[in-house]
Structure 1
């Protein structure tokens, strides 16, 4: 099923960004607001302790499960916010590369942020998302 999401680009904005600058969905789309996807295992423990890449991968995996439960997939995501508990830009890039790879050609508008701390013990990455589907 084709996505309801339309990604918008502008030739007047930097082409360095690895994502669209805006996205729209039709007025009849059902919006899905996901809780922040965390790198938690099914038993509630934190996956990939100390490993930004592993935590980003687990967060994406959990996001896929949440989207599936809501009747959507990554191609239906309209925006993301990637939170990384670090002040080191290299750690943010490590998490970002996982997100970009997962979304592939569906380069949704995204914000990448370094934060001081996240909610779970040993948590380094969290990914928020909004999706849109037409039923």
Structure 2
């Protein structure tokens, strides 16, 4: 059974995501935060949140695949951007939304002071449901 995305009629319909998701009985998959790391463990594109977001989403797809899932199985994601600049948050959000396509599962977008690796600006974690 797929993830059921819930839209609350009493809340604004002008948001680009569902307000909640219901997971059927089965296996929940919790990813670690996907980071903008290359195959050697180096942070890519220092200073470029959009480019880092592209790598982060590609890495998230790989982690989900290794767990038997795709982005369409994600019930909830959290997007962290090490910036107080709203333009950076929006740029990252556009990359994340594009990767998810029509699957507009609930997501939280946060500007944070710092992330774990030097020069890291973006991290995305997800909860998915393996069918």
TM over 0.5: yes
| Aligned position for 2:127 | 130
Residues 49-104 of structure 1 show CA distances to partners (whole Å, capped at 9, x for unaligned) of 11111100100000000001001100000000000000011100000000000001
Gaps of 5+ in 2: none
| Correspondence for 1:101 | 98
Q: State the aligned residue count.
A: 131
Structure 2 counterpart SS, 1:37: coil
* Displacement after TM superposition at 1:16 (Å): 2.2
What displacement does 1:25 show? 1.1
For the residue of structure 2 that corresponds to 1:65, the secondary structure is helix
Aligned partner of 1:65 in structure 2 is 62
Normalization by structure 1: what TM-score? 0.94
Q: Paired residue for 2:10?
A: 12
Query: Separation in 1 of the partners of 2:58 and 2:50?
Result: 12
- CA–CA separation in structure 2 for the residues paired with 1:37 and 1:17: 24
Q: Which among 44, 53, 57 is matched to residue 56 of structure 1?
A: 53
Which of 30, 34, 37 is the matching residue for 2:31? Answer: 34
Give distance in 2, aligned partners of 1:47 and 1:65.
17
Question: 3-state SS of the aligned residue for 2:111?
Answer: strand
Structure 1: where are the runs of 5+ without partners? none
Normalising by structure 2, we get a TM-score of: 0.97
Looking at structure 1, the residues matched to 28 and 45 of structure 2 have their Cα atoms a distance apart, in angstroms, of 31
1:115 aligned to which of 97, 112, 117: 112
Calculate the aligned-residue CA RMSD, in Å: 0.9
